[in-house]
Amino acid sequence: MTISTSSTTPRVAIVTGGSGGIGRTAAERLAADGLAVVVSYAGNPAHAEEAVRVIEKAGGTAVAVKADVADEAEVAALFDAAEERFGGVDVVVHAAGIMLLAPLAELDLADFDRMHRINVRGAFVVGQQAARRVRSGGAIVNFSSSVTKIALPNYAAYAATKGAVDAMTLILAKELRGRDVTVNAVAPGPTATPLFLQGKSDAVVEQLTLMSPLERLGTPDDIAEVVSFLAGPARWVNGQVLYANGGVI
């Protein structure tokens, strides 16, 4: 379903972490839905430009913009670029994040601080700009994780950052009362992305696959479908964390 601000002007989406993984798939899906997409990336311009080329080849509209999600000046410039190029911002999908795993007792605090900066501060900084700039009828979609409920060993620090995202999401939805802007989070379960599969043995991957009653890992397309729903037709879904995990919990 495509919702336009007018009969001739497409809606505009910013997707952080849009150059790879679930973020890229979400960017491609939103472009296929008819939105103009700003593919935000942190450090790999080649991947971001490739994402733009794929979207344009499929008939969509996209541009790549570099921004450190934890840097308020760079995020403000990201939103400026979207407004200057496309006239405004209707949807913000905050998919940027990192995952560093270790038992709580063994995790290097430098890794904890790095995850906190990107996953928590980044969500806060992007959320600030989104709250100030998203137009009426728009949507803010954060990325959480089902691991906040599954509580897998080695995920304590990562799950803590996503618990913070959950709290920000639910509170921001209430703070935007009267704006006609929805705020939700998607919480993927085990999903076959390079970020998820990195460092896991075949036995571990099989164990995680069987956690779902559907007996498979999720795919980026599965998650992008939920993002598309929240970004477009789901106007009565607000202040929610949607667990897209195939029934793991």
Rounded mean pLDDT of 236-246?
A: 97
Residue 134 in domain: yes
Residue 5 in domain: no
Helix (H) or strand (E) holding 141: strand 139-143
Residue 1 in domain: no
- Structural domains of the chain, count: 1
pLDDT the model gives residue 17? 97
Helix (H) or strand (E) holding 112: helix 109-115
Strand 182-188 relative to strand 241-244, pairing: parallel
pLDDT the model gives residue 198? 79
pLDDT the model gives residue 3? 42
Residues above pLDDT 70, as percent of the chain:
97
Q: Is 11 exposed, middle or buried (0-12, 13-18, 19+ CB in 10 A)?
A: buried
Residue given tokens 């992008």 in the structure block: 224
Is 138 a residue whose pLDDT tops 60? yes
Residue 118 in domain: yes
Give me the domain span that covers residue 16. Answer: 12-243
Tens digit of pLDDT for each residue in 144-166?
A: 999 999 999 999 999 999 999 99
Residue 2 in domain: no
Tens digit of pLDDT for each residue in 169-188?
A: 999 999 999 999 999 999 99
- Which CATH number fits the domain that encloses residue 16? 3.40.50.720
158 is catalytic: yes
Is 131 a residue whose pLDDT tops 50? yes
Catalytic residue among 41, 155, 158, 243: 158
Residue 85 in domain: yes
With bands split at pLDDT 50, 70 and 90, how would you rate the model's confidence at 8? low
126, 75 in Cβ contact below 8 A?
yes
With bands split at pLDDT 50, 70 and 90, how would you rate the model's confidence at 196? confident
Task: Give the whole-angstrom CA distance, residue 200 versus residue 212.
Answer: 18
Rounded mean pLDDT of 50-54?
A: 98
Is 6 a residue whose pLDDT tops 70? no
Rounded mean pLDDT of 104-125?
A: 98
Residue 3 in domain: no
Residue 226 in domain: yes
Sign of CA dihedral 9, 183, 28, 14: positive
Is 2 a residue whose pLDDT tops 70? no
CA angle, residues 132, 91, 47, in degrees to nearest 5: 115
With bands split at pLDDT 50, 70 and 90, how would you rate the model's confidence at 195? confident
173, 182 in Cβ contact below 8 A?
yes
Q: How many of the other CB atoms lie within 10 Å of CB of 104?
A: 12
